[in-house]
Amino acid sequence: MNPDFRVQFPVLKEQINGHPLIYMDNAATMQKPQRVIDAITRFYTHQNANVHRGVHTLSQRATELFEKSREEVRSFLNAPSSEEILFVRGVTEGINLIASSFGRSNLSERDEIILTEMEHHANIVPWQILARELKFTIKVIPFNERGELDQQVYKESFSSRTRLVGVMHVSNVLGTINPVKEMIAIAHEHGVPVLVDGAQAIAHEKVDVQDLDCDMYAVSAHKAYGPTGAGALYVKKKHLEIWPPYHGGGEMIEEVEFGKYPTFASLPFRFEAGTPNVAGVAGFAEALRFIRDTGYDTIQKHEKDLLDHGRKKLLTVPGLKFYGDAKHKTSIFSFLIEGIHPLDIGSFLDGRGIAIRTGHHCAQPVMKRYGIPGTARASLTIYNTREEVDYLTESLKDLVKLFS
């Protein structure tokens, strides 16, 4: 990657424990280019007002910015209509919205939903909470040693009681890119809608919800060079038109009167109660423009180079074992080193300015599948370099020497 490209990310100038920051925790949250930071600052400096509620100029500016950002998300995902784009705090809130609005309307005792063994807790826990209340069953699709879903088990899991499939597009632990388009087609053959957790996908590959034909697709801004606390949920209009609202409050109503049930606003507003994170949404839209301007060809070429280079270099570390080596995967390395706890790996690397993630990565069923408590995870993106991978490798070799 051209060094000038890295200049766009101000945090990369930081020194950590006397070393230049090497940031490899991108699956948890990505760093922000200056243009995203500027978009947020610009809102608070020149446009700060509540949206949709004021006739004054500043409110109209804020509303125009907010709705243009919605259109940016719609265009980025190639959704048919901006009415199908709901702003949420991120994938977690998006899935909770679905569990509440779809789940309470469509699930009952003896019904079934299908999830996968590699899901993030955000696409497990909301359904477990609801299942305890509504008494439906959760079927789980296993994955193999390489981190690939068992498609035969998936095909055989459908029944007349199946009401939903929930699957992550890209695993935050294994890096696996799941064949979601094919899985959606299979589900639709059974008349079953599909929710896709796209948290780890949009920063790495083009997502076209019409081509996928998914019913729901959730994204988080901070996983794609945008701010925290912002995200979007795409839902086919035919579903939104019949779902009850998730939250109640201001913004999402037409009329409220004591003694009567409220009437709700039109789509998408009936699902967006309260004052939204306008600054975050503006930053999110700018992050999507950044991805578009950079280009997926550039992103994928660079990340593929890092993935290939990282596989070769890291395997020279004595005792290192990868977890997740699917044929189709992103530049995520989950690993353990024999005889060294992942917390020790993370702490040692932090002392050298290298930021990685350690633990179960909000995916405890994945760890249970492998019989381990957690992993060390280095997740790379466009501002990472081969030289950083080399430094990571040499640092891990130094750590092994300390334990030998």
| Residues annotated as catalytic (active site), given as ranges | 362
Identify the H or E element spanning 319.
none
Please enumerate, as own/partner, the contacts of 314-318 that have beta carbons within 8 Å and a separation of 24 or more: 314/389, 314/392, 314/393, 314/396, 316/393, 316/397, 317/393, 317/396, 317/397, 317/400, 318/397, 318/400
Output the CA–CA distances (angstroms, integers) from residue 203 to 165, 279, 284, 365, in the order listed.
Answer: 23, 20, 12, 25
Token pair, residue 189, equals 């053959």
158: Cα within 13 Å, side-chain hemisphere = 20
Token pair, residue 166, equals 């929930």
338: Cα within 13 Å, side-chain hemisphere = 7
CA-closest candidate to residue 66, choices 268, 291, 223, 293: 268
Nearest-angstrom CA–CA distance, 15 and 22:
9
Nearest-angstrom CA–CA distance, 282 and 47:
11
Burial class (CB in 10 A: 0-12, 13-18, 19+), 89: middle
User: CB 254: neighbour CB atoms within 10 A?
Assistant: 11
Which are the contacts of 123, defined by CB distance < 8 A and separation ≥ 6?
95, 115, 166, 168, 195, 197
DSSP 324: -
Residue 313, helix vs strand vs coil: helix
